[in-house]
Amino acid sequence: MPQSMLKFVSLTRQTPDRRPAGERTSDFAEIYQRFDPDRAEKQSSRCSQCGIPFCQVHCPLHNNIPDWLKLTAENRLEEAYELSAATNTFPEICGRICPHDRLCEGNCVIEQSGHGTVTIGAVETFITETAFAEGWVKAPLPARELDQSVGIIGGGPAGLSAADALRRRGYQVHIYDRHDRIGGLLVYGIPSFKLDKSLVRRRIALLEEAGIVLHRNTDIGVDGDVTFDELRRRHDAILIATGVYKARDIKLPGVGLANILPALDYLIASNRVGLGDTVAAFQDGTMNAADKNVVVLGAGDTAMDCVRTAARQGAKSVTCLYRRDKANMPGSRREVEYAEEEGVHFTMLAQPEAFIGDEVVSAVRAGRIHLGVADATGRQTPEMIEGSSFNVEADLVIKALGFDPEDIPQMFDAPGLAVTRWGTVKANFRTRMTELDGVFAAGDIVRGASLVVWAIRDGLDAADQMARYLQARAAPANANAKREAVA
C-alpha cells in the first residue's frame, strides 16, 4: 500500500470552507469555496483504498473513486482527471450537487467505522476544475464522421450525456429543447447557490464546439414547433429525454387564491432573473418573496431549493410545512441543515387543511399530525389530530409536492409509445428502446423524478444501445468505420 494513503487515522475530515449563513443569504453565489491543492491532496490521502470500495458501488456511475483519490493524493491530477472523466460526463456538476450523503460518501467505509467520510464530491469538483483551468478538458470531437444522425428531445443531463457519447463516436447529433437555454433542470430548476449557471454554459459551449447542433426554443409535439413523426423522419434514431414536469397539486379549500404557486414556476422565474432576463411576474412582485411570509409545502429537495431561494430574496419569514417528522424527510439531510442555518423554520408533523384569504392568500390553516402504524412500505401513516388546527401567516405559498410525467403519447401523437401506470415512458431495460422502433428513452421520463447522476448514467447507457442499433442498420460501405466507432 503506498504511503500516500490511509491517513484517515491521523487526518480529520475537512470539507471546503462554507460561507457563513448570514453572508450567503445576501446573494445567489455557491455556498462552498473550492479545495486548494494542498487540502485536496491531504483529504484524498485519507482514503483507505478498500478492496471492495463501497463508495464506488454506491455511485450510480461506478466512478473509479479509490484510484482518482490516490492520483490526487500523489498530485497526478491530469491522470486523476482522465480517470474521473472516463465514467462521468459532468464530474464538476455531480461533485457539487449529488446527494453525497446518500450515495458515495454515505457508504464510505471509514465513515462507517466512525472516522468521517472521505470528501469525495469536493475532490471530484477540485479535479475537474483544475482540468478546466489547465486546459485538459476538450470538446467531445469524433475521430471520424458517420452519416447517421440522432435526434435528442430534451437538453437536460440525460440528453446531454447521450449527445456527448454519441458525438464522440461520430454520429450527427441534434438536441431539441423547448427552452431558450439548453441544460434542463441544471439551468432552470437547480438554483445557482447549488450550481453556478456558468458551469452549465461552459459544458454546452464544448458540445457546440464538437459539432452537436442545438435547436433551442423548439417544442416537439402535436402543438409544438416540430412533430414527433417529422423528427423520426429526420433522424435514424431518437432519444426521448424530456424529464418530468407535471406538478402534483393539492385539492384544498382556497387553493385557487392568488399567490399560491407551483415550485418550478417560482424557481424558473428566480433562475431567469439570476441569468439577467426580465421576468414580468417577478417584477410585479408575484414571484418575488421579498418582505413576504412564505410557506413552502413539501420537504424534498425542490422544497429545500424554494425555502432557500425565498430566504435569499429577502422574505420576512420562511416556513416549511411537512406532515411527517425530520427522520422521514425525503430530501438530503445536508440541504435541510443548510436551510436551517439560513433561518428557515420547519413546522413538522403538520398538514395543510385550507388556504385562507380574500382573493389573495393570507394564511395556511394546518392540522397537527400523529404518525400511526406503518403501511406496506414501512412508513408510518400520518393521521390528523382532531381539533389541532392552527394558522400560519402566508403572503406567498409554494407547492413543492413533486412531479409526474406529462402525457407523452398524447403530446407526441404516438399512441404506440407505451407508458407505465405512472405515465413514465416504458423502455426495455436492456436495449433502452421504447415500444417504437428506433426510439429510445432516458432520464427522469423513464425513471420518474430522480437525480442528475442517474440521468447521466441513463443517457450513457442509452447512447451505448443507440450506437448498437445504428451500427446494425449502417450502410455496408460504412460498416467497418461504424463498428470501430462503436467499439
Q: Coil, helix or strand for 392? A: strand
> CB of 126: closest distance to ligand SF4 in angstroms?
12
Among 159, 262, 298, 357, binds ligand FAD (CB under 6 A): 159
Distance of CA 135 to the CA centre of its chain: 26
Contacts of 429 (CB under 8 A, 6+ apart): none
Among 242, 309, 313, 319, binds ligand FAD (CB under 6 A): 242
- Could you say which of ligand SF4, ligand FAD, none residue 455 binds, taking C-beta under 5 to 8 angstroms by partner kind? ligand FAD
Instruction: With contacts defined by CB under 6 A, name the span among 2-10, 45-53, 298-306, 465-473 that binds ligand FAD.
Output: 298-306
Contacts of 234 (CB under 8 A, 6+ apart): 149, 151, 174
Q: Following DSSP, what letter does each residue of 243-258 receive, concatenated?
A: ---EE-----TTTTSB
- Grid cell, residue 388, equals 389541532
Among 167, 178, 324, 482, binds ligand FAD (CB under 6 A): 178
Segment 337 to 356, residues that bind ligand SF4, using CB under 6 A: none
Q: Coil, helix or strand for 347? A: strand
Looking at the DSSP bridge assignments, the partners of residue 260 are 397
> CB of 418: closest distance to ligand SF4 in angstroms?
31
∠451-452-454 over CA atoms, to 5°?
A: 70
CA 483 – CA 466 distance, rounded (Å): 13
Select 157 or 262, whichever has its Cβ closest to ligand SF4: 157
Segment 63 to 122, residues that bind ligand SF4, using CB under 6 A: 63, 65-66, 88, 94-95, 98, 100, 103-104, 108-110, 118, 120-121
φ, ψ (nearest 5 deg) of residue 220: -95, 130
> CB of 177: closest distance to ligand FAD in angstroms?
4
Looking at the DSSP bridge assignments, the partners of residue 440 are 239, 433
Contact call for residue 295 and ligand SF4 (CB under 6 A): no
CA 70 – CA 313 distance, rounded (Å): 42
- Could you say which of ligand SF4, ligand FAD, none residue 55 binds, taking C-beta under 5 to 8 angstroms by partner kind? ligand SF4
Query: What's the DSSP call for residue 18?
Result: B
Contact set with ligand SF4 (CB under 6 A): 47-50, 53-55, 59, 61, 63, 65-66, 88, 94-95, 98, 100, 103-104, 108-110, 118, 120-121, 124, 453
Q: Applying CB under 6 A, which residues contact ligand FAD?
A: 97-98, 153-159, 176-179, 184-185, 189-190, 194, 219-221, 224, 241-243, 267, 301-302, 305, 411, 443-444, 450-453, 455
